[in-house]
Chains A and B, each alone.
Chain A
């Protein structure tokens, strides 16, 4: 009864004021701009920044629409926590892992754009045509929100929606546990092998050779890592050259004579002879 009286006393409490309209026409296009830049930015970090802008604009719109609690929760939880989580994962995964240009399904992007445009036109047309003569009741005119947004929300959550609220706590605990299980998954796959076990495995012949690979034979005559090392009997150790160097085609220097591995000792021998 009192609700009805209050509603009659302030019939246009839910109507849009001029200030709200101005805020909407500033923040709405900003939200659209942020969303579009998120979808079409090449760099994933720019996408995250666009989404932060869109979410912040939405928070302002919530506050304007008599939902100050949700507006601040939006800023704190979404732009504060969730987007920082996104940025952390972006930095861990590598922010240069940008989109592949290859289309796995041919014409998928064009089809998606056309379908999305059609979906937007459909939604906008339906909402625009069906909700033209809406007279908003407004939360300040009475009802549960008249005593204050946070008070009303708390009363609703802890009375009518108590069961859903309890389920939410179970959901959050499950999510935290799941994230921990997924995050620690890499340690369970194989036990770490100690130094002693490694040495025993080497001597047992599980590796190709007991000793580590020989270093490259960089001599005074040629300071390239492509120079092979020389074994004690004068032969060339093929393992001393990296496979990558061996496989790399070197067309420019192919005609030059390869540096002689024994040139240095040979020169010293000549000098001794001349003495």
Chain B
């Protein structure tokens, strides 16, 4: 077994997250799928750091985690304010910008 298996797992997780973003209609679940995609990329970054023998990949994964935390805070606040005005968390109903 080589570390390539980690990269394959990361690719599969990323694809699952992408399919979830396209398939699900609940905004919070869509957000969770985005988190899964970020985590998959983190796994590949950690694996590359191990393959190359340098810690830079782990530092990048660390920064990805920080950015993901900030993104979650702002995104969930946006979802909450949309829910307050439209009484729904479905992304099909947030269509005011269309008209």
Contacts and interface: CB of A to CB of B under 8 A. Distances in A.
Interface of A: 7, 14, 16, 21, 24, 28, 31-32, 35-36, 38-39, 44, 47-48, 51, 54-55, 58, 61-62, 65-67, 69-70, 73-74, 77-78, 81-82, 85-86, 89-90, 92-94, 97-100, 102, 104, 108-109, 112-113, 115-117, 119-120, 123-124, 127-128, 131-132, 134, 136-139, 141-145, 149, 152-153, 156-157, 160-161, 164, 168, 171-172, 174-176, 178-179, 182-183, 185-186
B39 A58 contact: yes
Contact of A38 (B7, B32, B58, B65): B32
Interface string B81-97: 10110001110100000
A97 B90 contact: yes
Given A14-B50, A175-B71, A182-B74, 10 more contacts: A16-B1, A24-B1, A47-B32, A89-B76, A89-B80, A136-B2, A153-B58, A168-B66, A175-B74, A179-B77
Contacts of A58: 13, 39, 42-43
B32 A86 contact: yes
B92 A100 contact: yes
B70 A171 contact: yes
Contacts of B77: 178-179, 182-183
Interface of B: 1-9, 11-20, 22-26, 28-29, 31-33, 35-36, 39, 42-43, 46-47, 49-56, 58-59, 61-63, 65-74, 76-81, 83-84, 88-90, 92
A31 to B, nearest CB: 6
Given A70-B62, A128-B4, A137 B72 contact: no
A138 to B, nearest CB: 6
Nearest to B56: A156
Interface centre among A38, A90, A115 (most CB of B within 10 A): A38
**By DSSP majority rule, is chain B's interface helix, strand, loop, or mixed?**
helix
Contacts of A131: 2, 4, 7
Given A74-B65, A131-B4, A171-B66, A157 B25 contact: no
B12 to A, nearest CB: 6
A77 B69 contact: yes
